[in-house]
A = this chain, B = another copy of it.
Amino acid sequence: MTDATLTGLSSAEEPFARIAIIGLGLLGGSIGLAIAAHMPGAVTTGYDLDPATRARAAVRGLAGTICDTAAEAAANADLVILCVPPSVMGDAAAAIAGSVPAGAVISDVGSCKLAVAQALAEALPGHAARGSIIPAHPVAGTENSGADAGFASLFHNRWCIITPPENALLAQVSRLAGLWQALGARVEFMDAAHHDRVLAVTSHLPHLIAYTIVGTASDLEEVTRSEVIKYSAGGFRDFTRIAASDPTMWRDVFLSNKDAVLEMLQRFTEDLTALQRAIRVGDGPALFDHFTRTRAVRRSIIAEGQDDARPDFGRSDHGAEG
């Protein structure tokens, strides 16, 4: 299914009107703000396990009503979106099991879909049997986290991948797609296993590599931490942004998508070994060929509108590197 065909389908469906957001960090908060901005007919309820987050969420208006329990937030919803780290998706689903209406659609925003789908199905077997657990993953975010990190335009022109189970009703899938389109996203469909392999390479492996290199640089004895920071404009600083992402979420991502991440890592290591050998033996042509090929990928990403075309990401002061 493409974006275009889905738009046709979703227009015939009634939009969700009572949306519960469980977890009010970067993703949950941005969803609440985006619904307020783009779906005037919808009401939202929100809940977060952390009382301080709930208090900030109330101040920022991340949801219309901030509830004291997840069960209360979900009690009258026609859609529940779970916006918590992968390892506690099952707990969050269990917390709403006693109150969420049987007819409600259950969705989420997790970066891994196979593990999350299984956890949700175990906690909400009735909804699973009816095909109304429809996982989703908006490929959007920043390195910030928490109740102050979200903003309404986070999903603009970003892709949201929906991974419906085989027994899902097309009408419900269309409603969910319609919601994400209303928030500014482009929608794509995949089976969960394929999603997990695609994201392993476009998101999980890059984060693992960034976390690794920042750790490596911090641990050197003969190059001081101060030098690493001063000369970070040579390229290193780009990696530090990604390596500043939420530790809890990323721990869970790697543990929840272990097989795909380890496989992609194996391929990366093989490629790195080949380049290492080219450097060791002084094979300039092999290096040049590789570096020329990778340049084209950047051009495609810019042509697709998935990054800023300005040099150095358009950093405010024209940045630095070299």
Which residues of A approach B to under 8 Å, CB–CB? 27, 87, 109, 111, 137-144, 149, 151, 153-159, 161, 188, 194, 197-199, 201-220, 222-223, 225, 227-245, 247-248, 250-252, 254-255, 258, 261-262, 264-265, 267-269, 271-272, 275-276, 279-280, 282, 284, 287-288, 290-295, 297-301, 304, 306-308, 310-322
> Contact: B235 with A210, CB < 8 Å?
yes
Are A268 and B230 also in contact (CB < 8 A) when A251-B284, A261-B279, A311-B149 are? no
> Contact: B203 with A213, CB < 8 Å?
no
Give min CB distance, A306 to chain B, whole Å: 5
Shortest 5 CB-CB contacts between residues of A and residues of B: A203-B234, A141-B322, A247-B291, A142-B311, A244-B298
Additional 15 contacts, C-beta under 8 A, given A208-B279, A232-B301, A244-B295: A141-B320, A197-B223, A198-B228, A203-B236, A212-B275, A213-B268, A215-B271, A216-B271, A219-B267, A229-B297, A243-B294, A251-B284, A251-B288, A255-B279, A307-B319
The residues of B that contact A313 with a CB separation of less than 8 Å are 241, 313-315
Give min CB distance, A136 to chain B, whole Å: 12
A-B contact pairs, 25 of them (CB 8 A): A140-B320, A141-B320, A143-B321, A153-B318, A156-B317, A201-B223, A201-B228, A202-B217, A206-B234, A211-B290, A211-B291, A214-B298, A215-B293, A216-B264, A217-B297, A218-B294, A219-B271, A242-B321, A243-B297, A244-B297, A247-B292, A255-B284, A261-B279, A310-B316, A313-B313
The residues of B that contact A139 with a CB separation of less than 8 Å are 231, 233-234, 320-322
Are A231 and B212 also in contact (CB < 8 A) when A308-B316, A311-B144 are? no
The residues of B that contact A238 with a CB separation of less than 8 Å are 206, 210, 238-239, 241-242
Query: How many angstroms between the C-alpha atoms of A210 and B304 in the bound complex?
Result: 20
CB-contact partner of A231 in B202, B210, B284, under 8 A: B202
Are A282 and B255 also in contact (CB < 8 A) when A201-B220, A211-B275, A311-B142 are? yes
> Contact: A311 with B262, CB < 8 Å?
no
CB-contact partner of A142 in B138, B293, B298, B321, under 8 A: B321
